[in-house]
Amino acid sequence: MPELPEVERARAFVEQHGLGRQIVAADDRDSFVCRPHQPGEIDSALRGRTLTAALRRGKSMWFETDGGDGPVLGLHLGMAGRMVADVPEAPNHWDRFALSFQDGGRLALLDKRRLGRAVLNPDLTQLGPDAAEVGRDEFRRRVGRGGAPLKARLMDQSVIAGVGNLLADETLWQARLSPLRPAGDLSQDELDALRKTLRLCTRRAIRKGGVHTGEVIIGRGRGQRCPRCQTDMERAVVGGRTTWFCPVEQN
Around 244, how many Cα atoms within 13 Å sit in the side-chain half-sphere?
20
Least Å distance, CB 48 to DNA, is 29
- CB-CB contact of 73 with 46 (8 Å): yes
Catalytic (active site) residue 112: no
* 59: annotated active-site residue: yes
Pick the catalytic residue: 11, 21, 57, 59? 59
Measured distance CA(234)–CA(135) in Å, rounded: 32
Q: Give the integer Cα–Cα distance in Å for 190 and 182.
A: 13
Axis-axis angle for helices 4-18, 188-208 (nearest 10):
40
Name the minimum Å distance from CB 103 to DNA: 31
Active-site residue flag, 208? no
- CA of 244: how far to CAs of 9, 109, 131, in Å? 26, 31, 21
- Catalytic hit among 138, 182, 241, 247: 241
47 among known catalytic residues: no
C-beta of 23 vs 61, nearer to DNA: 61
CB-CB neighbours of 36 under 10 Å: 7
Minimum separation from the CB atom of position 93 to DNA (A): 8
Q: For binding to DNA (CB under 7 A), which residues are involved? A: 1-3, 6, 32, 58-60, 76, 78-80, 92, 112-115, 126, 146-149, 152, 155, 157, 164-166, 183, 211-212, 237, 239-242
- Least distance in angstroms from the C-beta of 104 to DNA: 28
- State the catalytic residues: 2-3, 59, 241
